[in-house]
Structure 1
Amino acid sequence: MKIFIYIVFILCGVHTSVAQEKILLWPQGKMPNSKGMIVSDTIIDGRLFQVGEPRVYVYPAAKEKNTGAAILIVPGGGYLRLTADYSNIPIASYYQQQGISAFVVCHRMPASPDLEVPEIAPWQDIQRAMRIICANAAKWGIDSNRIGIFGGSAGGHGASTLATHKEDISAIGDELDCFSYTPAFMILLSPVISFESPIVHEGSRDRLLRDNSSEELIEFFSNEKHVTPDTPPAFLVHANDDKVVSPLNSIAFYQALKNAGVESSLHIFPYGGHRLGIGNCTGSAAVWPNLSIDWLKEMKFVE
């Protein structure tokens, strides 16, 4: 079956540290959970507060380095904002240089006036992005059984929601509906996991659920409560001195994975706060990117 993807922009030149394609997630007029309003990107101080066209940016691994693995990156931002410049994302570049094709999703914000059900919009876009990667795996030299997901901070909540909830909320009746959106593995950096006190990051919860913070939705989006033996394995990284997102989020998720018999890895470093990115943390926490590659090799996702 021929799969159509919606490529709207190709950067000139080829370099292993920049995105080469921008792909719209939804064909015109078929974006689910939309009132049909025309919404434009809103950028303030270099941050994207409103997303007009949900999209995914492609960082394909070079042929000579390609391991066949891939990872979808969900940026953080507290469900309030995302990065505005996707031309060179350090985490995407890092995995790309390790021979792992990387993709960065730019999903809708719950505050968008166009949404009918705000709390599911990021999840829908993440699901669709995974389906696009799976559908076009051969094009990028990817093994569809080795596509994982990465999430940092609130992006870790979006990533773990995809991995722990099985509901299909992105089907629109096109060729992509038959492709999987379930990741093979998770790499979660300082992730928001639980929406329950006392470990909740209240900003992420309140922005996602907005005026609908019922007990049922809080439980539904507390992802540690939805781990099963079928949940993909996770590599979890957190700093003990993180004052933004409690490391108890990672501990709770690891405990749930452990209880379900899902082989995972948890790393709590003493220092680093909420800034455990690529190239901006020091001390023992600086080793986490290389540790993640070692874990992927150990778990046979990278050979």
Structure 2
Amino acid sequence: MSMKKFGLILCFLLVNLIFAQEKITLWPKGKMPNSKGLQLKTEEKDGRIVQIKEPELFAFLPPKEERKPMAIIVIPGGGYYKLTYDLGGYQIAKWFNTLGISAFVLNYRLPISPDVKQREIAPLQDIQAAIKYIRKNADQYGISPEQIGVIGTSAGGHLAATVSNITTDYTELKDDWTSVSTIPNFAILVSPVIDLGEFAHVGSRNSLLGENASQEKIIEYSMQNRVTEKTPPTLLIHAQNDKAVPVMNSILYYQAMTKNKVKGALFIFPEGEHKIGITNTSELTDNWKKLCSDWLKTLFLNK
């Protein structure tokens, strides 16, 4: 074998090693709550997952010698009817790895799934179970159980805000799982869906609550109404020219945070539309990653 060919093979193996991930089945067999027991297949369309067989976590871990105590669960968006698992999941996880932060991408059940009994709590059950799993197995991953956060984009941002504020444990997990908290230690919301009323992304609202949702249910799942002094520190990122999810969503949430004295920050960029991610067309908007990295450094300073 030539040295050139050997070098190419070695590079290929190294790239795959760097981006290798562990797949974790979230629920024990037969223990997934809110399920009719249908046998579904995971389906993809145009690079998005449109149906989930079962919720899964994908662990992206930096090298042990570079690993920090902090970990984050990445929640892809997609309007609650699909999952942008690559752009809104794997790519974000790999970026966090460059900061020495362990990342776990959650492919959660969609509320439109024919298998779920109560649509609006299915995604919440999955993210709550994910937080419990990572917190309970923190030693295995070399992380702190008290430094576990969430990041969500678009509808994933709504789910991140939901798990930050709804304290009821919907997982139905028993025994030593009951004492494990479902609340993240911090949250990052990128172009998040927050309001399901006046400033709603209608597609997300309809997918989560149904087309004929009551006003009471809309108010209940508009997350600016659920913020309390116990809401974890939160960073909000949004573009002023976002036509899909109006910037007022982030503003309303930050106003509620300020009213309740919740620590956090809000950065609004003039450009970026509903496309803020790891790669951005605007150099100014691309600064969100440095702002995010710097903000994370302010957390847990005394721990």
| TM superposition score normalised by structure 1 | 0.91
Deviation at 1:15, TM superposition (A): 5.4
**C-alpha separation between the residues in 1 aligned to 2:134 and 2:122?**
19
Deviation at 1:179, TM superposition (A): 1.4
* Paired position in structure 2 for 1:53: 54
Render the CA deviation track for 1:120-141: whole Å, top value 9, x for unaligned: 1111101101111101101111
**C-alpha separation between the residues in 2 aligned to 1:175 and 1:14?**
39
**C-alpha separation between the residues in 2 aligned to 1:136 and 1:89?**
21
* Paired position in structure 2 for 1:272: 272
Matched residue of 1:132: which SS? Answer: helix
Render the CA deviation track for 1:19-66: whole Å, top value 9, x for unaligned: 421101111111100011111111122211110111110011221211
Letter in 1 for 2:23: K
Letter in 2 for 1:73: V
Q: Which region of structure 1 is more displaced relative to structure 2, 291-300 or 249-258?
A: 291-300
**Kept in 2: contact 1:14–1:20 (CA 8 A):** no
Aligned length: 290
Deviation at 1:283, TM superposition (A): 2.5
Query: What value does the CA root-mean-square deviation take over the aligned residues?
Result: 1.9
Deviation at 1:301, TM superposition (A): 6.2
- Describe the shift of the 1:16–1:154 C-alpha distance in structure 2 as closer, same or farther (beyond 3 A): farther
Within a 5 Å distance, the mapping from 1:104-183 to structure 2 comes to: 104-183=105-184
* Paired position in structure 1 for 2:40: 39
Deviation at 1:219, TM superposition (A): 1.0
**Kept in 2: contact 1:163–1:231 (CA 8 A):** yes
* Paired position in structure 2 for 1:261: 261
- Describe the shift of the 1:23–1:14 C-alpha distance in structure 2 as closer, same or farther (beyond 3 A): farther
**C-alpha separation between the residues in 2 aligned to 1:285 and 1:16?**
31
**Kept in 1: contact 2:85–2:107 (CA 8 A):** no
**C-alpha separation between the residues in 1 aligned to 2:247 and 2:57?**
29
**C-alpha separation between the residues in 1 aligned to 2:201 and 2:225?**
16
Is residue 243 of structure 2 the alignment partner of residue 243 of structure 1?
A: yes
**Kept in 2: contact 1:296–1:302 (CA 8 A):** no
* Paired position in structure 2 for 1:6: none
Q: Name structure 1 gaps, 5 residues minimum.
A: 1-11
**C-alpha separation between the residues in 1 aligned to 2:302 and 2:73?**
15
**C-alpha separation between the residues in 2 aligned to 1:24 and 1:174?**
19
**C-alpha separation between the residues in 2 aligned to 1:203 and 1:27?**
32
Structure number, greater radius of gyration? 2
* Paired position in structure 1 for 2:25: 24
**C-alpha separation between the residues in 1 aligned to 2:280 and 2:190?**
14
* Paired position in structure 1 for 2:219: 219
**Kept in 1: contact 2:244–2:274 (CA 8 A):** yes
Q: Name structure 2 gaps, 5 residues minimum.
A: 1-12
* Paired position in structure 1 for 2:285: 285
Matched residue of 1:95: which SS? Answer: helix
- Describe the shift of the 1:13–1:295 C-alpha distance in structure 2 as closer, same or farther (beyond 3 A): same
Aligned-pair identity in percent equals: 44
Query: Which one has the bigger helix percentage?
Result: 2
Matched residue of 1:119: which SS? Answer: helix
**C-alpha separation between the residues in 2 aligned to 1:18 and 1:217?**
41
Matched residue of 1:83: which SS? Answer: coil
**Kept in 2: contact 1:18–1:89 (CA 8 A):** no
